[in-house]
């Protein structure tokens, strides 16, 4: 089979590799579509990997089954969660694999075939396209949906999203769909245009103004109810604390290191709540699927789609910051029927 290798220094190659062999509890999936994630850019721009890739959002058809797998069958369409649990703990019983203390990560999904834990594969109904499926069972909708469960109060009316890359844009789409006023903040004009198209009522270009002052002005001076940090930058995280109202909530989506935060100034004296939201619970796929069927236009998050062979071009576009969600299509030219109506 062929697989993408991230060589580092923004170089991508497609190489041959032996087909994966499923261990007990695993399956092999023939890839239909995989999606690029912003977390891959550190490896893409940096030192790369000796083998494989860190692709972790993909859908396809089961072609091999390991020992002990009884819930899936050959030929079944599935979306795969990259996070799988041990199967025996309190959290796994609730399909909350990200909280399992022994959870495992399955990567190298930018390949013609990939390994996945059978318990972390979601059977895709025939009416769900590959494009919709890869967003619903991956980061594209998974992170924004899981984030929404942290800020479910009906009292929340205004949300500012700092950083509208793919995850930030997903948050814009999700929060606007919930009927909230969304303010999108970024330094890339193309992303702000995309945010408006996905439901942002206001956009703020942080290159052109003080984003905190602008967000506060747009929210009547008090600050917004919720700030979502989706850029993964310390200055953005600190700006969220300044732009949120007293007794508001800051949600962290963007991975980053330590911050110079004062418990008194950022939390205690303003009654601020800060929470993290990482990936999604496998148990939440049912709710995301229901949202999609009830009108959430998740495929509007897709801005570009490339044949698998053009992975280098796809990564270059994605790395430029001038895209939303970027897909690699392993069946380019022969999409399934459900894909025909997707917005790309």
Q: Considering the entire predicted model, what is its pTM?
A: 0.94
- According to the model, what pLDDT value does residue 90 have? 98
- According to the model, what pLDDT value does residue 332 have? 81
- According to the model, what pLDDT value does residue 275 have? 97
- According to the model, what pLDDT value does residue 157 have? 98
- Mean pLDDT for the chain overall: 95
Query: Can you list the residues of the chain whose pLDDT is less than 50?
Result: 334-344
Which domains are delineated in the chain? Answer: 2-138+281-341 (3.90.180.10), 144-276 (3.40.50.720)
- According to the model, what pLDDT value does residue 317 have? 97
- According to the model, what pLDDT value does residue 200 have? 98
**Span 148-194, pLDDT tens digits:** 999 999 999 999 999 999 999 999 999 999 999 999 999 999 999 99
**Span 236-260, pLDDT tens digits:** 999 999 999 999 999 999 999 999 9
- According to the model, what pLDDT value does residue 216 have? 98
For tokens 């303003």, what's the residue?
A: 270
């Amino acid at each position: 089979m062929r697989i993408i290798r991230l060589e580092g220094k923004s170089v991508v190659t497609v190489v041959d590799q032996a087909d994966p062999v499923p261990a007990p509890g695993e399956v092999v999936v023939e890839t239909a579509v995989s999606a690029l994630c912003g977390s891959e850019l550190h490896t893409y721009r940096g030192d790369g990997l000796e083998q494989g890739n860190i692709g972790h959002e993909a859908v396809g058809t089961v072609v091999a089954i390991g020992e002990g797998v009884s819930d899936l069958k050959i030929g079944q369409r599935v979306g795969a969660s990259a996070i799988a649990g041990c199967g025996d703990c309190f959290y796994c019983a609730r399909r909350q694999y990200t909280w399992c203390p022994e959870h495992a990560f399955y990567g190298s999904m930018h390949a013609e075939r990939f390994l996945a834990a059978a318990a972390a594969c979601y059977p895709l109904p025939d009416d769900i396209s590959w494009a919709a499926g890869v967003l619903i069972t991956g980061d594209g909708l998974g992170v924004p949906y899981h984030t929404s469960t942290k800020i479910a109060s009906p009292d929340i009316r205004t949300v500012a999203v700092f950083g509208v890359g793919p995850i930030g844009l997903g948050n814009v789409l999700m929060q606007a769909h919930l009927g909230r006023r969304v303010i999108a903040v970024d330094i890339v004009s193309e992303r702000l245009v995309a945010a408006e198209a996905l439901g942002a009522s206001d956009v703020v270009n942080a290159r052109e103004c003080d984003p905190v002052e602008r967000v506060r002005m747009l929210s009547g001076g008090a600050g917004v109810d919720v700030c979502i940090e989706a850029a993964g930058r310390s200055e953005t995280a600190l700006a969220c604390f300044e732009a949120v109202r007293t007794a508001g909530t800051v949600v962290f989506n963007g991975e980053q290191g330590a911050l110079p935060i004062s418990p008194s100034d950022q939390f205690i004296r303003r009654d601020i709540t800060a929470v993290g939201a990482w990936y999604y619970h496998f148990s939440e796929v049912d709710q995301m699927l229901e949202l999609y069927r009830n009108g959430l236009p998740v495929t509007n998050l897709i801005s570009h789609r490339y044949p698998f062979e053009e992975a280098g071009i796809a990564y270059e576009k994605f790395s430029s910051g001038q895209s939303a969600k970027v897909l690699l299509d392993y069946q380019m030219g022969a999409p399934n029927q459900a894909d025909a109506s997707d917005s790309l």
